[in-house]
Amino acid sequence: MKYLVMIHSNARFQERWEGLSDAERADFGHAHLRLRDELAASGELVAAEALADPGLARRVTRTDGRTAPVAPGGDGPFAETKEHLAGFLLVDVVGEERAIEIAGRVPDAVWGLVEVRPVLDMSQWDG
């Protein structure tokens, strides 16, 4: 079963982050790396990435067959977004319990910013 472990961020998180000592920030980063290494070693990691600043996001629309990327901050619905995706882990694990256990080990979970979502399985159905 694949699960996407989403790490969210928001303005309050930024404030808390800035309030941390250098040592605390280093611990945070090391905990991320450790988790990633462990999941790679156990054969559960499919992909893991940290995303660049949401200010660099481009909303894409397609009209009359032409693609038009729009920068955020304009009139788009994303301008009001308070929470954004900061990174993710895609894992392939035994079941939801294990996915939740992994999510709980993401350092950001202490601030309640981690979410687990099952990936739709395109094979399992015998209607």
Partner 1 sequence: MSGVEPVETALRELAPAVLGVLVRRHRDFDACEDALQDALLAASRSWPVDGRPANPTGWLVTTATRRLVETWRRDAARRRRESDDAARAVPPGDPAPGRDDTLALLVLCCHPALTPPAQVALTLRAVGGLTTAEIARGLLVPEATVAQRISRAKARIAAAGARFAEPSPAEREARLPAVLEILYRIYTEGHTASAGEDLQRPDLGAEAIRLARQLHGGWPGHGEVTGLLALVLLTDARRPARVRADGALVPLAEQDRRRWDRAAIAEGVALLEGVLPVAEPGPFQVQAAIAAVHDEAPTAEETDWHQILGLYGVLEVLAPSPVVTLNRIVALAMVEGPRAGLERLDDLAPRLEGHHRVDAVRAHLLERVGERAAAVAAYRRAAQRTLSGPEQRYLARRAAALA
CB of 123 to partner 1, least distance (A): 4
Q: How far is the CB of 37 from partner 1 (least distance, A)?
A: 11
Nearest to partner 1 of 40, 68 (CB atom): 40
Q: How far apart are CA 99 and CA 117, in angstroms?
A: 9
Q: Of the two residues 45 and 102, which places its CB atom closer to partner 1 in the complex?
A: 45
Residues that bind partner 1 (CB under 8 A): 1, 40-47, 92-94, 118, 120-127
Rounded CA gap, 11 and 9, in Å? 7
Cβ atoms of 47 and 2 closer than 8 Å: no
Q: Least Å distance between CB 29 and partner 1?
A: 22
